[in-house]
Structure 1
């Protein structure tokens, strides 16, 4: 970097704001070349601050042009204030005052997609975390909450729809074909929850009647061509509203709830009060263009953003170190919602899979941080899986320790006590403690300590005393800034199975007992155990830990067949497959012939043959551990060996189970119309999982099945599954034909074209990188569109390990080139792309040296953003 290294911001330095804003009035004159923003702030000194003579320092941005500044009706001259690139400072202010400010901004030139910008001709905003300072000078921090009134003025023909937070209170015509709408939000909020949208949009409308009988208008705004993709989001919203009333007693509080779909968006969605702005990929859906998984994801995200109305908006964060206060809690809420809407076990498997592969890797990498970080350089870098997913697991553990009734009492107290406030994770835990009477003092370490705890479990059985004993040791490896970790309070859910596979009754006759692990080493005794049991450990994945117990392969097969805990049945299968694959990797490196343990074949045969099992569960249990998960488990990642061995296992299973897989595929094919019913989704998943194995055989007969499915599918789930299998197969001519046909049919649909890009970016073929480079010149690719970048560049670098980690290092060079290019356009997206390079310590010397060299290239860039500087500098430290 050419300037001084950016300074870190520390939690320990938090101070209450010296000033508060009671009322914020905004007036936007939207223009084609520039936009004029007028703000009127009713301000006062904060009585809670000890800085009685502190100057007022408003946050701003180098791209703001200050046109006018007025204090209590008096125009200020440049000598009356200090204006720097990102700060506006005023001294000697009274106890109360009104500050008016006029700024000029250029949304059309804003490629960072923060603040106010344009997407496909539509004005929209993204203000979390610090985007509002790109709009006007303000106290842009979450603990400054004000009531907002916003007036938006624009050309009526080009921007007939003008939206902001709250309820509309006035609208009308102004001169020269322009019109205005004024919005009033009665609830105080920080600036990061401000939203504005102006565009030529169509509206889909519905309504919801709350538990108290209030009628709420539901409005989804989209571009005209997307009108037929709104029904699922509206249904999901109504389900979420009803669920939140029933489970948490939370009722919606405005007259209108609005959602807007935007193509250019850095995140998935944003919970701006009353006006949620969504990445179009997270809200638009119909069967012809949307997969089952995407339907489920949309339902979850719509719910997540709605749930934020209370866990994030009505009660918000005091500072950005507390980000998991709203995100972790809300991810837990949306996960429970999704579990209630579908299969609880399948949902838990999906969440834990993400946690183990990606969040555990984050915990073990250079960007490891506690759920409540102690410092940051750029807050955008801390919208991480640790804050979101691990934060949700921390809330889940509180739910496990307290039980559902006491947890509900704690959440009720939390919302009642802190409504309209900006608070901390400690306030959340304190409410749970007070409502339940449970001491969570030691449990708070989950918010303070980084890393994934490791549990080593051994056991003993005394046949004479009929006593079974579990010995549990916990530890946590060092992480940046934390060499030593104090013991965590860990809820360890345990069941015991007898020789017939039946649950042995435990305390109070229950078949699952939650053990409280709070010391570095503990013993737990179970009396009246009639025989030596097989333990079912960490049921439901009751804590985000790595657990080691010396299961034999026969015991894992036994648990796969008999465990009453669905998650642990699946996990036993994963452990069995991992043990076998890791042994085969050793053989592969030694040049020995590979032979598959028949116990895995028999376990899969039994799964496929049992028609009484839930097809969704069978489909999940048939999924081999991913290359990413196997890499996370490895001390040193041998990318080639992992890929080759996993493919060998897949082909061998397909060979030995070919007839049964064909039978399962045909049995689960449906000729009827597409439905989103859980049973139909489960059948499609099992059908496509079976086809995936069969395609490993590279047989013309199986290829014909895939081509028939691709050509005749009436839904994107089946079409995309078949396309991916054909495109990734050895049938190159057929793959090219299918990809071309897919593009020709769907080229006008941006979301489907994203899938087309990803399918090609993730091919294991040796020419994958060359294909990606060529696709960057494709007419449909746009570097300024984050969805396109994630679909092509992100997918190749994060989801295609065997080709990204090429021995010649060209994959690393490609990523560094793209990061450098994107950093000038959109630093948030650039920094998020860096993750694969940051894990260089996990790879052999010949690869890690090349990864480090590319990180050094990025670090040497003049005017590197804070976003990228933080990630790269910490990675190389």
Structure 2
């Protein structure tokens, strides 16, 4: 089997499909080894399409049984059939096309199309999985109304599809038959089917307009006790979308189904969301606080897609961020509102800041490196070889930041007006990112006569992370402060091949700034006719200046408050100024940011010392800044937990000229231990003060207390104190929830002494061996442990519970080791990279989409120190040269090698 020759698809080549397919009837005779699908399409030639335009239908891994047009079967010579398409010529302007085909769900390891998991049938059609179910125009701009008939043996009593249930009956042969109808046109990527033996939890709620709607969560029998949080989250999402955006559920029911074999987190199929079980099942014994938060967020995300993605969808896959960036922004806002619900103003502001911090941490760890590497692309890419490779942090998380900037520029009321206009213009259509910006611009120009969003649109077509250099000049005699912002964004990724004449244009950057005096008090700023604590500066050219009067002394700038744009700030604060901001800044995000910059400087200095062979020593001023944060009674526990968390190795790597992960790991570990030693009394006090006795609750306040308590425990354990190990062992033995249990176990296996850590690991598996999601946690904990080597990872792969065929299990062990174990993965002997190559190829033979995501682990190989760079490059070349490589993996490794930094 030879590697398939990749074909590059370009956005500029988009052409409308020559046919409308307004109605589709699908009939499934479900069987694991051979499912027969009868697809009946009403096909209409579009105005302007040529009379000789062929009907080209996509298909993969299908067996064709018959083709008919207007009730007449076509002979074998009446159509063209290839491995990937079925082409019909000479159709009348209006026709009924009927295709009967077979697929093999039980043999489908790609988990795209129709497949079997746990003895049940499931589908995944985004982006191009529907073509594995039947021949069809598998593209998002072909929107149809679907009527679906499902027939199956009695062992599959639950038969679900999109929309509303129309009929159920038992057939003479004993099989069950059901009919579903979706009244709303949708692209085929939103089609879904579930059949099997499932249980469910349900509730009926009344929508804002007074309709009763049924909400259901389906899962394996015996797991219904773990779906309460998911159903409650769905109710909260429904209510929030009604109140925040005026958007109401448009169907009679909304269903969520949990499956353990799933490539993604979840899928927003119209009315029938299929979810990775990790984002549905939860109880106090088996799910952590992060799991609870993730479930609520992902359920909100997929529910919100009902309007931002389903009712208005993408014209083509280049517009993916149209739905994903917008919906990530919406789920971030939903989570922030849920975290702040019921709190007073100050507590709510802190809760929302915690959510903002978490989102920015994730962005910087995943998207900033992507923007700086060979896979760098705009949020609306210009080309791709495999669309599955573009479900990226850039499209999702940076896409959300681009939406958030529009929200910042328009304000809450203006953004809501823009959303209303977007739906008024485009409900029921497949549209582009430009259409969304145009709706927002219609409001912006009313707010700001003479201005528009023409410069802002560059965020959609240029890649990379802009750097904004800030210069501050103070004129004491004039009592005036002048702020100069200068932006730059050099070519990245494929842009480097555009030639020496390629110049990127300036972005429209909303840059929020505050000024503090030398005692940490906020200075009032006169800006655009108002006196404010925070001024929003709109940088639209390469360099601009703003002046602020009545500033008596040189101020300390608080920059990019609330992370108002996805940019990197260059400003030369002194350590004393950062300490002042960390202690006094009234903007919680900026206060956190100042502390993180202090910690970053400290860890990078330690990494330099490690590389140079010097003795490591922590700066006293940094320790004192951390002491002040840890003991500040005005800060709630959740915020302190974020403020005291050391920057991740991935974030730190972006600040190194040549990346050296082992040196960073040693530096972070040293600082963690040194903080534990020097602040032992304070961390012990935080550990004691933030216990959460009583019944478990995932609510923000107790979750924040657990986060701070467990952070304190990890520092105490890193310091190597015997008393700390006693605390960890006691917490593990008595933990009443998975959050505390996992935190104690993590500290023990990373820093513990003696036999107890291994005994605890063994006991943990014995207790939870029948729970797949907890076993995933068990694998992940060991894969990322400080002492885990390639040999350890290989030994874990021989465990009876491990399988590469399950994406969650592969992510828990292989991905965790390759992405989050700096010592093991980046050993100088190159064994980690050889292991990576081996697993990429093994996964590629089973599931190319998952393999491609693992392949991204070496994207930025050329930025590493030479001792690591050389074996990384060899591993990439080994994978690219492999016979039979999928398009998915071939695109990733080829770009990594060709467009290296």
Q: TM-score, normalised by structure 2?
A: 0.96
Structure 2 CA distance for aligned equivalents of residues 241 and 771 of structure 1: 46
Distance 1:476 1:170, change over 3 A: same
1:798 equivalent to 2:819? Answer yes
Structure 2 CA distance for aligned equivalents of residues 716 and 867 of structure 1: 36
Match of 2:441 in 1: 433
**Deviation beyond 6 Å, 4+ runs, structure 1:** none
Match of 2:278 in 1: 281
Secondary structure at 2:751's aligned position in 1?
coil
Deviation at 1:33?
2.1
Q: Check the 8 A contact 2:480/2:551 in 1, yes or no.
A: yes
Match of 1:847 in 2: 868
Deviation at 1:406?
1.0
**1:175 alignment partner, one of 159, 166, 172:** 172
For 1:556-705, list aligned pairs within 5 A. Answer: 556-705=578-727
**2:785 alignment partner, one of 763, 778, 792:** 763
1:386 equivalent to 2:397? Answer no
Match of 1:238 in 2: 235
Deviation at 1:172?
0.1
Structure 1 CA distance for aligned equivalents of residues 608 and 779 of structure 2: 35
Which deviates more, 316-325 or 524-533? 524-533
Q: Check the 8 A contact 1:20/1:144 in 2, yes or no.
A: yes
For 1:90-169, list aligned pairs within 5 A. Answer: 90-156=88-154, 158-169=155-166
**2:72 alignment partner, one of 71, 74, 94:** 74
Structure 1 CA distance for aligned equivalents of residues 494 and 476 of structure 2: 47
Q: Check the 8 A contact 2:115/2:121 in 1, yes or no.
A: yes
Deviation at 1:730?
4.5
**1:752 alignment partner, one of 753, 768, 774:** 774
Structure 1 CA distance for aligned equivalents of residues 382 and 504 of structure 2: 15
1:504 equivalent to 2:503? Answer no
For 1:766-781, list aligned pairs within 5 A. Answer: 767-781=788-802
Deviation at 1:652?
1.1
Deviation at 1:50?
4.2
Structure 2 CA distance for aligned equivalents of residues 4 and 286 of structure 1: 45
Q: Check the 8 A contact 1:161/1:198 in 2, yes or no.
A: yes
Structure 2 CA distance for aligned equivalents of residues 512 and 470 of structure 1: 14
Structure 1 CA distance for aligned equivalents of residues 809 and 518 of structure 2: 54
Structure 2 CA distance for aligned equivalents of residues 494 and 52 of structure 1: 60
Secondary structure at 1:834's aligned position in 2?
helix
Q: Check the 8 A contact 1:760/1:768 in 2, yes or no.
A: no
Structure 2 CA distance for aligned equivalents of residues 782 and 524 of structure 1: 59
Structure 1 CA distance for aligned equivalents of residues 444 and 604 of structure 2: 45
Which deviates more, 727-736 or 446-455? 727-736
Which deviates more, 621-630 or 669-678? 669-678
1:454 equivalent to 2:454? Answer no
Q: Check the 8 A contact 2:717/2:752 in 1, yes or no.
A: no
Match of 1:871 in 2: 892
Q: Check the 8 A contact 2:748/2:757 in 1, yes or no.
A: yes
Deviation at 1:283?
1.1
Q: Check the 8 A contact 1:786/1:829 in 2, yes or no.
A: yes
Q: Check the 8 A contact 1:368/1:450 in 2, yes or no.
A: yes
Secondary structure at 2:698's aligned position in 1?
coil
1:485 equivalent to 2:484? Answer no
Structure 2 CA distance for aligned equivalents of residues 593 and 481 of structure 1: 42
Structure 2 CA distance for aligned equivalents of residues 818 and 149 of structure 1: 42
Match of 1:24 in 2: 24
Match of 2:418 in 1: 410
Secondary structure at 1:731's aligned position in 2?
coil
Secondary structure at 1:509's aligned position in 2?
strand
> 1:361-380 deviations in whole A, cap 9, x for unaligned?
00011111000000000000
Secondary structure at 1:551's aligned position in 2?
coil
> 1:186-214 deviations in whole A, cap 9, x for unaligned?
00000000000001000111122111000
1:367 equivalent to 2:364? Answer no
**2:742 alignment partner, one of 700, 707, 720:** 720
Secondary structure at 1:356's aligned position in 2?
helix
Structure 2 CA distance for aligned equivalents of residues 721 and 52 of structure 1: 67
Structure 2 CA distance for aligned equivalents of residues 356 and 136 of structure 1: 41
> 1:630-655 deviations in whole A, cap 9, x for unaligned?
11221111222211111111111111
Deviation at 1:732?
5.1
Q: Check the 8 A contact 1:355/1:390 in 2, yes or no.
A: yes
**1:215 alignment partner, one of 212, 216, 220:** 212
1:476 equivalent to 2:479? Answer no
**1:710 alignment partner, one of 703, 710, 732:** 732
Match of 1:84 in 2: 82
Deviation at 1:435?
2.8
Q: Check the 8 A contact 2:4/2:885 in 1, yes or no.
A: no
Which deviates more, 52-61 or 311-320? 52-61
Runs of 5+ consecutive residues of structure 1 not aligned to the other structure: none
Deviation at 1:721?
0.4
Deviation at 1:481?
3.1
Q: Check the 8 A contact 1:762/1:768 in 2, yes or no.
A: no
Q: TM-score, normalised by structure 1?
A: 0.98
Structure 2 CA distance for aligned equivalents of residues 810 and 345 of structure 1: 41
Secondary structure at 1:403's aligned position in 2?
helix
> 1:722-765 deviations in whole A, cap 9, x for unaligned?
01110112425222111001101111110000000000000111
Deviation at 1:664?
1.2
1:318 equivalent to 2:315? Answer yes
Structure 2 CA distance for aligned equivalents of residues 699 and 534 of structure 1: 40
Structure 2 CA distance for aligned equivalents of residues 13 and 117 of structure 1: 33
Secondary structure at 2:25's aligned position in 1?
strand
Structure 2 CA distance for aligned equivalents of residues 292 and 125 of structure 1: 29
Deviation at 1:4?
5.8
Q: Check the 8 A contact 2:143/2:186 in 1, yes or no.
A: yes
1:260 equivalent to 2:283? Answer no
> 1:563-602 deviations in whole A, cap 9, x for unaligned?
0110010000000111122222222222222221111111
**Superposed CA RMSD:** 1.1
Aligned pairs, how many? 873
Structure 2 CA distance for aligned equivalents of residues 569 and 689 of structure 1: 19
1:41 equivalent to 2:38? Answer no
Secondary structure at 1:373's aligned position in 2?
coil
Match of 2:345 in 1: none
Which deviates more, 128-137 or 506-515? 506-515
Match of 1:860 in 2: 881
Q: Check the 8 A contact 1:18/1:52 in 2, yes or no.
A: no
Distance 1:847 1:185, change over 3 A: same
Secondary structure at 1:188's aligned position in 2?
strand
Which deviates more, 18-27 or 860-869? 860-869
Structure 2 CA distance for aligned equivalents of residues 671 and 249 of structure 1: 40
Structure 2 CA distance for aligned equivalents of residues 868 and 136 of structure 1: 25
Structure 1 CA distance for aligned equivalents of residues 617 and 286 of structure 2: 41
1:533 equivalent to 2:555? Answer yes
Runs of 5+ consecutive residues of structure 2 not aligned to the other structure: 340-350, 497-502
Structure 1 CA distance for aligned equivalents of residues 33 and 611 of structure 2: 62
Secondary structure at 1:237's aligned position in 2?
helix
Match of 2:344 in 1: none
Q: Check the 8 A contact 2:158/2:195 in 1, yes or no.
A: yes
Which deviates more, 630-639 or 541-550? 630-639
Q: Check the 8 A contact 1:409/1:436 in 2, yes or no.
A: no
Structure 2 CA distance for aligned equivalents of residues 480 and 651 of structure 1: 38
Q: Check the 8 A contact 1:410/1:435 in 2, yes or no.
A: yes
Deviation at 1:3?
5.3
Q: Check the 8 A contact 2:3/2:886 in 1, yes or no.
A: no
1:834 equivalent to 2:855? Answer yes
